[in-house]
């Protein structure tokens, strides 16, 4: 399995399988995961149903007993306690959708420290990339990474 026999065919097949998996995931996820745009576009279908919005949901504005959220450019008001919320917060929310164009809050979680998480993850990724490039170099002869002579044990 790990030999050089038919190496480029093996690479091609692995890429092909991964691409097919990605396409399958993209297609199927549309019928499994709901976003705000889908709810607003099919308001009658989602009326009275509990929906969960977790990805890239941001708070636009906050008032005493309701707040507005935005996901991928689509906005909606959510009726419910907005304690601890501030505009710009990224949240995950479980709420009941109403065809009139608002939602009733069931459960809410504020994704705190998200930007810090991204920044420190970026730093870690650069660190690992540095480790890798110190140890390996890419050669067109064989189209592969080889260990640098100074790092061989």
Partner 1 sequence: MPDLITHLSVSYLFNKPLKAIRYSTLFYCGAVLPDLATRAVSIPYHPAEFAVYPLHTPLGVVLLCLLLSFFFAEAERKQVFISLIAGSSLHLFLDLFQKHLQPGYTLLFPFSWKAFEFGLLWPETIVSMVPLWLVIIFVIEFRLWLKRI
Going from the C-alpha of 149 to that of each of 130, 132, 135, 146, 153, the distances in angstroms are 17, 14, 9, 9, 9
C-beta of 3 vs 100, nearer to partner 1: 3
For 17, half-sphere exposure in the C-beta direction (CA atoms, 13 angstrom radius) is 5
How near is the Cβ of 116 to partner 1 at its closest, in Å?
6
Q: Are 144 and 137 in contact (CB under 8 A)?
A: no
98, 112, 90: which is closest to 51 by C-alpha? Answer: 98
C-beta of 2 vs 64, nearer to partner 1: 2
C-beta of 32 vs 100, nearer to partner 1: 32
Ranges of beta strands (E only) in the chain are 50-62, 66-71, 74-79, 90-98, 102-110, 136-139, 144-147
φ, ψ for residue 38 (rounded to 5)? -65, -40
How near is the Cβ of 64 to partner 1 at its closest, in Å?
24
C-beta of 29 vs 63, nearer to partner 1: 29
C-beta of 7 vs 49, nearer to partner 1: 7
3-state secondary structure of 119: helix
3-state secondary structure of 111: coil
How near is the Cβ of 134 to partner 1 at its closest, in Å?
8
Residues lying near partner 1 in the complex (CB under 8 A) are found at: 2-4, 7, 10-11, 14-15, 17-18, 21-26, 28-30, 32-33, 52, 54-56, 72, 92-94, 107, 109, 111-114, 116-118, 120-121, 123-125, 127-128, 131-132, 135-136, 142-147
How near is the Cβ of 121 to partner 1 at its closest, in Å?
4
How near is the Cβ of 63 to partner 1 at its closest, in Å?
23
């Amino acid at each position: 399995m790990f030999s050089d026999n038919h190496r480029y065919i093996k690479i091609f097949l692995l890429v092909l399988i991964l691409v097919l998996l990605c396409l399958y995931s993209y297609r199927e996820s549309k019928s499994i995961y709901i976003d705000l745009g889908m709810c607003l576009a099919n308001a009658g279908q989602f009326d009275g149903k509990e929906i969960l919005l977790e990805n890239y949901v941001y708070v636009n504005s906050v008032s005493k007993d309701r707040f507005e959220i935005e996901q991928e450019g689509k906005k909606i008001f959510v009726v419910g306690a907005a304690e601890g919320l501030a505009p710009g917060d990224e949240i995950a929310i479980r709420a009941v959708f109403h065809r009139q164009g608002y939602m009733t809050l069931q459960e809410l979680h504020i994704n705190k420290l998200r930007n810090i998480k991204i920044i420190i993850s970026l730093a870690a990724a650069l660190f690992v990339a540095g480790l890798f490039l110190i140890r390996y170099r890419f050669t067109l002869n064989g189209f592969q990474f080889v260990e640098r002579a100074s790092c061989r044990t």
